[in-house]
Amino acid sequence: MTQPSGSSPEKTLSQATKDRRATPSFLPDPVPENDLKKILDAGLSAPSAYNLQPWRFVVVRDAEQRARLRQAAMKQPKVEEAPVVIVACADLEGWRRGDLDEVIRLAQHNGYGDEARYASTRKNISSLFDSAPGAAGGLAPDFAVWANRQTMIAFTTMMWMAEVLGYDTAPMEGFYEDQVKAALGIPAHVRVVALLAIGHRKGEDKLFAGRFAMQRTVFAEKWGNPIP
Ligand SMILES: Cc1cc2nc3c(=O)[nH]c(=O)nc-3n(C[C@H](O)[C@H](O)[C@H](O)COP(=O)(O)O)c2cc1C
């Protein structure tokens, strides 16, 4: 639901979760730089396993780039209409290309942990992520799934921050990954996870299609026990 953004008070998260719809169509009104920064900062403050932050984001605002991205995103008009589209990616090689070093440098800088801990973190992560999925006693993850999981937390945090600031959003998985990569120059070792359009909706909001009753999807103590 659109409200004035910028200097107006932020919505509560409770209100935002009630109001949010996957916006079908956007006005061209821009998202000011300071709001975009807040949205990005919120996402980048998300948690990730080992604090490894495998996510990468391409912020697409340029009209020609949005037009190219739209073609890659099954020609969905909202990709070109929205003033900002954030393309969430997962870097499958980041941990070995400097991210692990940076995680440890940050921890040292912030006085978190000690040298023994940094050494064991480096050893454990390297052996885990260098193993085939399911190895290491079943602990080694399918790395693409692992990186996707982390990235979606940051992506979703950005979506809620945009909603709290009074913007409308549209998450999208309807795109051809190879085409998105070609349009944005994304390297081979990076996966495209999802697109997030942000702006102000044009016309009526999409109707609420409903959600499953809690009893269907939430269990108490054991699988299948309905929550009272
Ligand atoms: C990860 C993800 C991908 C989605 N991809 C698309 C998409 O490509 N195109 C689209 O029109 N809607 C897309 N949607 C919107 C969903 O269809 C929508 O969220 C769902 O129908 C529920 O509607 P609501 O969000 O308005 O409550 C996507 C939603 C999510 C969470």
Q: What is the residue whose two structure tokens read 């730089």?
A: 33
Q: What is the mean pLDDT for each group of 10 consecutive residues in the chain (228 residues)?
A: 62 98 98 98 97 98 98 98 98 96 96 92 91 87 94 98 98 98 98 98 95 96 94
Which pLDDT does position 7 carry in this prediction? Answer: 59
In a domain, 112, yes or no: yes
Phi, psi at 124, each rounded to 5°: -65, -45
Does any ligand 1 atom lie closer than 6 A to the CB of residue 19?
no
Which pLDDT does position 6 carry in this prediction? Answer: 52
In a domain, 227, yes or no: no
In a domain, 4, yes or no: no
Does any ligand 1 atom lie closer than 6 A to the CB of residue 206?
yes
Count of other CB atoms within 10 angstroms of residue 141: 17
Task: Give pTM, 2 decimals.
Answer: 0.95
Residues 6+ apart with CB under 8 A from 36: 59, 84, 198
Output the CA torsion sign for 215, 218, 221, 227: negative
Atom 10, ligand 1: residue with shortest CA distance: 172
Which pLDDT does position 67 carry in this prediction? Answer: 98
**Site to substitute for ligand 1 among 172, 176, 195, most atoms within 8 A of C-beta:** 172
- Tell how far CA 51 is from the center of its chain: 15
Domain ranges, residue 19: 13-217
Atom 19, ligand 1: residue with shortest CA distance: 22
Report the DSSP beta bridge partners of residue 172: 195
In a domain, 85, yes or no: yes
In the reported structure, the alpha carbon of residue 171 is separated from the centroid of ligand 1 by a whole-number distance in angstroms of 6
Atom 12, ligand 1: residue with shortest CA distance: 172
**Number of domains, the chain:** 1
In a domain, 203, yes or no: yes
User: Residue 30 belongs to a domain with what CATH number?
Assistant: 3.40.109.10
Which pLDDT does position 136 carry in this prediction? Answer: 85
In a domain, 222, yes or no: no
Which atom of ligand 1 has the smallest separation from the CA of 152? Answer: 1
Does any ligand 1 atom lie closer than 6 A to the CB of residue 174?
yes
In a domain, 159, yes or no: yes
